[in-house]
Amino acid sequence: MGIAEQQLSDEAQYCADTFNGAIASAAVSAAWEIGLLDELERSGRVGIAEYATASGAHPDVVRAVLVALSTRRIVTLDPARTEAATGPGFDDAYRTKGFFYWLTRGCGELLTTLPGKVLDADRQGDFVRRDSRAISVACRNIARTFFDPPFRELLKDTDCSVVADLGCGSSDRLIMLADLMPQIRGIGIDVAAGAITVSKEAIADAGMEGRISLVQDDVLNLAPREEYESVDLVTCFLMGHDFWPRENAVTMLRRLRETFPNAKSLVIGDTCRSTGVDGPQHPMFTLGFETVHAVMDQYIPTLEEWSGVLAESGWRIADRRMIDLPAFSFIYRLAPA
Ligand SMILES: C[S@@+](CC[C@H](N)C(=O)[O-])C[C@H]1O[C@@H](n2cnc3c(N)ncnc32)[C@H](O)[C@@H]1O
C-alpha cells in the first residue's frame, strides 16, 4: 500500500510529526546559518540548483533541508522538488529562528548525549558541553526580536553614561545602546570565550572599539575593577537564572550594589520557570529551556520566586514589562532601595 492510501491514526500522525519536527528544527538552524532562510525571506522563493551553485552548497543537502522545512509548512516545494517558496508557516519560523538555533546548534550536543546525562554515575566532572558561540548568536536574535523593543521603552527616560552588561553574550545590547545614546560607554562582561570572540567581532564591525570594552570574568564572583565605579546602569539579560538558587540570588543582587556603587538602575530581563502548562500545551522555547537547565542542574525560578528575592535584594522595582514570547519572561527596572 502506498503512503497516500495509508490512513494514519491521529496518534500515529502525532508521533510522526514529533520525529519530523526534530529534523525540521535542525533544518531551520541550518537554513538560517547558510543564508537560505534570509534568501527566502528576501525573495519568497529559491531555485535549488541556482542557490547551490551560487553558495557552493551541495544541492541534495539543500533539497533535504527544504523538504524537512516543508513537513512543517515553512516552505512549499514544486512537484519536481527543484524550487521552494515560502509557506504559511514561514513568518513564524523566521521570527523564532533564534530559538531553533539555540536548541539545535547551541545545545545540540547536550541533547544528543542526553541518555548519558541521566544517571547520577554519569553526571561527574565537566559532563555538559554547549556551543557558546552559537548560544550568543541565538540569544542576539531572540533578544533583538523579543526583549529589546520593551527594553528600549523601559529605558526611555533613563539618563546614563556608563553601562555594564552582565553575561553580555554577543554585546549586541551594548552596541544598540551605544548607537542610541552617543554619550555612553559600555563594558561587556562574560565568562565564555566563545561569547567574547563573537563580541569582539561585533564591536569591531560596529566601529565601537573606543566605546565598548570587554571583560572575561565570572559575574557570580566579579573581581573588583576601578572602571566599575563609573557605571550608572547595569543590565543583565537571559542569565539572571544563573544567580540562583535563592540564597545565592539574594547575595548576588546585594553584592551588585557594592561592585557598582554608583549604579542608578539595574535592568534584569529573563525567562522564568513555567507554571500551569501541561503536556501538549507547552509554548515555543519553554520545554527546551527547562530541559536543558535541568540537565545542567541549573535551577530556574518562577516569576513568584523572583518577586520574593527582589524584595530582599537591596533593590526596589521601579518599572517592569512582561513578555509573551519567550513565555513567562519579564524585564524589571530596579533602583537602589
Ligand atoms: C543566554 S546568553 C544571553 C546573552 C546576552 N545577555 C543576550 O541577551 O543576548 C547568557 C550569557 O551569559 C553568560 N554567562 C552565563 N553565566 C555567566 C557567569 N557566571 N558569568 C559571566 N557570564 C555568564 C554566557 O556565557 C552567555 O553568553
Q: Does the beta carbon of 69 sit less than 6 angstroms from any atom of ligand 1?
A: no
Dump pLDDT digits (tens) for 174-193: 999 999 999 999 999 999 99
- Does position 3 have pLDDT exceeding 90, yes or no? no
Dump pLDDT digits (tens) for 256-283: 999 999 999 999 999 999 999 999 999 9
Q: Does the beta carbon of 140 sit less than 6 angstroms from any atom of ligand 1?
A: yes
CA 334, CA 14: separation in Å to the nearest integer? Answer: 45
- In CATH terms, are 8-95 and 140-336 the same topology? no
Which sign does the torsion angle of CA 68, 69, 71, 77 carry? negative
Which segments of the chain are extended strands (E)? Answer: 45-47, 75-77, 83-86, 162-166, 185-190, 212-216, 233-237, 265-271, 315-323, 329-336
CA of 239 to the centre of ligand 1 (A): 5
Nearest CA, atom 26, ligand 1: 169
Q: What is the pTM of this model?
A: 0.94
CATH number of 8-95, picked from 1.10.246.90, 1.10.10.10, 1.10.101.10, 3.30.70.141: 1.10.10.10
- Does position 1 have pLDDT exceeding 60, yes or no? no
Q: Does the beta carbon of 194 sit less than 6 angstroms from any atom of ligand 1?
A: no
Pocket test for ligand 1, best of 151, 191, 236 (most atoms within 8 A of CB): 191
Residue 92 pairs with which residues in a beta bridge? none
Q: Which CATH superfamily is domain 140-336 in?
A: Vaccinia Virus protein VP39 (3.40.50.150)
Q: In what order do the strands lie in the sheet with 45-47?
A: 45-47, 83-86, 75-77
Average pLDDT over residues 56-62: 98
Question: Where do the structural domains in the chain lie, given as residue ranges?
Answer: 8-95, 140-336
